[in-house]
């Protein structure tokens, strides 16, 4: 079982273990991992916006945010740089299919944790 949610303003170091305990209690027979995107999962797109250039309204000259996991309002940051309004429903799956996973691992600790936890579940 893989649980991935936004941490928002909760400290991942506190919320993550609590949710992991709940997952283990609910399904002790199923391997589980909990990953909290620091603030918002859209921070992963802010970190890798170069890989989204020219797609879905992202300008060709867009640059990654220097501290994406610090941003409160990653959706709004995306909306500000896009040539059209950001839509979580319409854009999220497309961005997830397009963004550079390697850059996300290098630039955001929470995505790197997701990567490691998925590998652990697959082993």
pLDDT in tens, 42-56: 999 999 999 999 999
pLDDT in tens, 12-27: 889 999 999 999 999 9
Q: Which domain holds residue 63?
A: 2-122
Which pair of tokens denotes residue 67?
Answer: 């501290």
Residue 26, pLDDT score: 96
Residue 83, pLDDT score: 87
Distance of CA 87 to CAs 5, 8, 42, 46, Å? 18, 18, 12, 15
pLDDT in tens, 73-115: 999 999 999 988 999 999 999 999 999 999 999 999 999 999 9
Number of domains in the chain: 1
Q: Percent of the chain having pLDDT more than 70?
A: 100
């Amino acid at each position: 079982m893989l649980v991935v949610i936004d941490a928002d303003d909760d400290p991942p170091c506190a919320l993550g273990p609590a949710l992991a305990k709940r997952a283990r209690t609910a399904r002790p027979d199923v391997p589980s991992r909990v990953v909290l995107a620091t603030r918002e999962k859209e921070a992963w797109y802010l970190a890798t916006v170069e890989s989204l250039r020219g797609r879905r309204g992202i300008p060709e000259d867009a640059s990654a945010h220097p501290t994406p996991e610090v941003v409160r309002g990653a959706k709004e940051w995306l909306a500000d740089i896009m040539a059209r309004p950001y839509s979580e429903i319409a854009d999220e799956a497309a961005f997830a299919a397009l963004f550079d996973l390697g850059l996300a691992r290098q630039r955001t600790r929470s995505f790197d944790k997701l990567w490691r936890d998925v590998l652990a579940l697959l082993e």
